[in-house]
Amino acid sequence: MTFPKIIDVRAYVLRGGGADYHDQSSGHWIDDNIATPMSKYPNYRESRRSFGINALGTLVVEVEAANGTIGFAVTTGGEPAAYIVEKHLSRFIKGQNPADIEIMWDQMYFASQYYGRKGLVINAISGVDLALWDLLGRLRQEPVHAMIGGAVRDELSFYATGSRPDLAKEMGFIGGKMPLRYAPIEGNAGMQKAVDDIGEMRSRVGDDFWLMLDCWMALDLDYATRLAIAAHEHKLKWIEEALSPDDYWGYQALKKAVPSGMLVTTGEHEATRWGFRMLLEMECCDIIQPDVGWCGGLTELLKISSLADAHGKLVIPHGSSVYSYHFVATRHNSPFAEFLMMAPNSDKVVPMFSPQLIGEPVPKNGRLSISELDKPGFGVELDRTLNLHRPYKD
């Protein structure tokens, strides 16, 4: 089977929510006093936007085949990622057969390895990779999940990340994950408030609903260990991303130190099979949480997932909407998915990447039928009425 060759690669930048889901206005739960590694600086304590969490914005990558079919993807990375895509990565994509994703990934990765390997560069590669999968699906008239092995379940079930697990329970989600809002700089009193918040939420949701805590890299090993032990009385299911993603040794020690039954999760800021190999072989966590828009794209996530499967670990991807859903549908070791509550008060379900995607499916009653994903590619369209800006041309 031959496909029309790829004739163009375009990288655009968009502002205002969407794939850069931290790019929100004031008053949104996602920017309200969340504990971060920057919390020790008073000027940057209250708001993550104050230290530039939304500095980059959304990256949109389009790949166009000779017959006019366009695949696209959205992720973060903004203008610097657009530069990398247009000025460096596009040479490995133009003129290629859209089905040759493995070789395109390999060339993008190894050609940029001297300045890449993690972070922004892998973020940019992820955007191109997802756009290639979308293009291939449109050319084959198949959903991505059908091209990577087929769905192993009829529907996805979700836990909700947001400020109101109690409302998430009413909306049918299987669990709720709250952000940690007290940092080590606030001392033992802050930790007690954090534990009290978990206890208060536990009293609202009852004993059997999953409650989790996302620490967004804000803690050190000692604090994280004490917090995990203190939160155990409220049946905290997992403690997420407690430490710096570079501190594999800290995660290894934390996993040994948390109370029996509590899970340690991390990986949303980890990248590639080699990064996740460290987390898995060092037994840093119970669940890995790669973000398909940051870890190297779907091509790399499949490798990461196989590695995790061989280690007996679950893969619950971080956010990322349809780009995660098509993957989760196909893996036995991804039994549920994350849904980011993007309503400012976490009080209703809105599309995760709103307003950038048209036709973005959302869970109903905490569930999503795989039949809703049965459209070519990732099954969504880019809203081209938005202010797409193309800062570089190759």
H helix or E strand, kind and range, residue 383 = none
Q: Which helix (H) or strand (E) holds 339?
A: strand 337-340
Nearer to Mg ion, 134 or 268 (CB): 268
The reply to whether 46 sits in an annotated binding site is no
Least separation in angstroms between CB 148 and Mg ion: 24
Q: Which is nearer to Mg ion, 245 or 344 (CB)?
A: 245
| Residue 318 known to be catalytic | yes
Query: Which is nearer to Mg ion, 13 or 219 (by Cβ)?
Result: 219
Residue 232 assigned to a binding site: no
Residue 214 interacting with Mg ion (CB under 5 A): yes
- Smallest gap from residue 179 Cβ to Mg ion (A): 8
Minimum distance, C-beta of residue 297 to Mg ion, in the bound complex (Å): 19
CA 75 to chain centre: 9
HEC readout, 255-286: HHHCCCCCEEEECCCCCHHHHHHHHHHCCCCC
Interaction of residue 86 with Mg ion, rule CB under 5 A? no
Residue whose CB is less far from Mg ion, 35 or 84:
35
Tell me the one-letter amino acid at 182.
Y
State the Cα–Cα distance between residues 338 and 374, nearest whole angstrom.
20
Minimum distance from residue 23 beta carbon to Mg ion (Å): 17
Is 240 annotated to bind a ligand? Reply is: yes
In the bound complex, which residue of the shown chain has the CB atom lying closest to Mg ion?
214
Q: How many CA atoms lie within 13 A of 32 on its CB side?
A: 13
258-277 positions binding Mg ion, by CB under 5 A: 268
Alpha-carbon separation of residue 29 from 41, 66, 185, 347, 382 (angstroms):
20, 44, 21, 11, 26
Q: Judged by CB, which is closer to Mg ion: 266, or 305?
A: 266
Identify the H or E element spanning 299.
Answer: helix 297-310
User: Could you tell me if 212 and 178 are in contact, meaning their C-beta atoms sit under 8 angstroms apart?
Assistant: yes
Nearest distance from C-beta of residue 216 to Mg ion, angstroms:
6
Pick the catalytic residue from 311, 318, 326, 389. Answer: 318
Instruction: Read off the tokens for 302.
Output: 């499949």
d(CA 295, CA 283): 19
Numbered residues of the known binding site for substrate: 22, 48, 338
Q: Interface residues with Mg ion (CB under 5 A)?
A: 214, 268
Active site residues: 318
Numbered residues of the known binding site: 22, 48, 214, 240, 268, 338
